[in-house]
Amino acid sequence: MAKQVVPEGKRRRRRPTRSGTVLSEALIVDTALRLLREHGGAGLSARRLGLALDCDPSTLYRYFRGMDDLTLAIGDALIDQALRGWAATGRWRTDLRSVGLRIHAAYVAHPQAALLTASRVTGRANELAADEAVLGILRTAGFPVPEAVRVYHAFVDQTLAFAALDAASLALPHAALRADEDKWRSTYARLPAATHPHIAEAAPLLARRMLDSAYPTALEMLLDSAEARLATLR
């Protein structure tokens, strides 16, 4: 049975922790992000969080029903970081591009957290605000509801899929990441045209482009498609 979370107004501890810290949901999430950055997904546990916060691990359950509930809060915090300070311009393509790039950047800035959360649906306030914003952009642009949902679905899944893919690369041990990147020069660039003509002619470009995320390019392709579809609906 899930543990009962203490209502927000009653969460504040009567006394600070031994180090003088008063716990909050935001502090726990920030500490969890730090532990993920330092130790990876395997390093996030109630015990390790308790040590980092100088509190008994059971205290965390005043704020979260369990570690999965904390994981959802971490995902929602990434979305908050992405959209903090963002404002719509009224130009739908500009606004959708900006939201996508911000969300992608926020996730890859925390690769280990992205691996845990990119596939999750949090149902929390920041995720809901982001979804409302994206659907609002599309509806204001003139997309009918079915088309708005269609573009929204592709946009969100594409953004999070690239975030997860790019985060997975960044989460690799440094040596493994460098070895993977070097393959474009040490292997692909040396293939003979007699056996691999198309790779051989593209090798110099592949060696440059494949080290960067394809998300901005894929996003532009999605926006091109959406814009063309919108033109047929007017």
Q: What is the CATH number of the domain that holds 93?
A: 1.10.357.10
* Mean pLDDT for the stretch of residues 77-102: 97
**Average pLDDT rounded to a whole number, residues 136-150:** 97
Q: In this structure, are 41 and 136 located in the same domain?
A: no
Same domain, 205 and 115: yes
Is residue 120 domain-shared with residue 186, that is, in the same domain?
yes
pLDDT at 12: 47
Q: Which residue has the tokens 């790779």?
A: 199
pLDDT level of residue 18 (50, 70, 90 thresholds): low
Q: Clarify whether residues 125 and 217 are in a common domain.
A: yes
Question: What is the CATH number for 31?
Answer: 1.10.10.60
Do 60 and 159 share a structural domain?
A: no
Binned at pLDDT 50, 70 and 90, residue 22 comes out as confident
Q: Is residue 80 part of a domain?
A: no
At residue 19 the predicted structure's pLDDT band, cuts being 50, 70 and 90, is low
**Is the same domain home to 205 and 121?**
yes
Question: Where in the sequence is the domain holding 102, given as residue range(s)?
Answer: 89-233
The answer to whether residue 71 is domain-embedded is no
* Domain assignment present for 37: yes
Residue 211 lies in a domain: yes
Token pair belonging to 205: 């470009």
pLDDT tens for residues 101-133?
A: 999 999 999 999 999 999 999 999 999 999 999
* Domains in the chain, number: 2
Instruction: Tell whether 54 and 125 lie within a shared domain.
Output: no
Question: Tens digits of per-residue pLDDT, 48-70?
Answer: 999 999 999 999 999 999 999 99
R_g over Cα of the chain: 22
Contacts of 83 (CB under 8 A, 6+ apart): 99, 102, 103, 126, 129, 130, 133
Judged on CB neighbours under 10 Å (0-12, 13-18, 19+), 64 is buried
Residue 77 counted as domain residue? no
**Domain shared by 54 and 117, yes or no:** no
Give the confidence band of 175 by pLDDT, cuts at 50, 70, 90: very high
Q: Is residue 84 part of a domain?
A: no
The verdict on 114 and 206 lying in the same domain is: yes
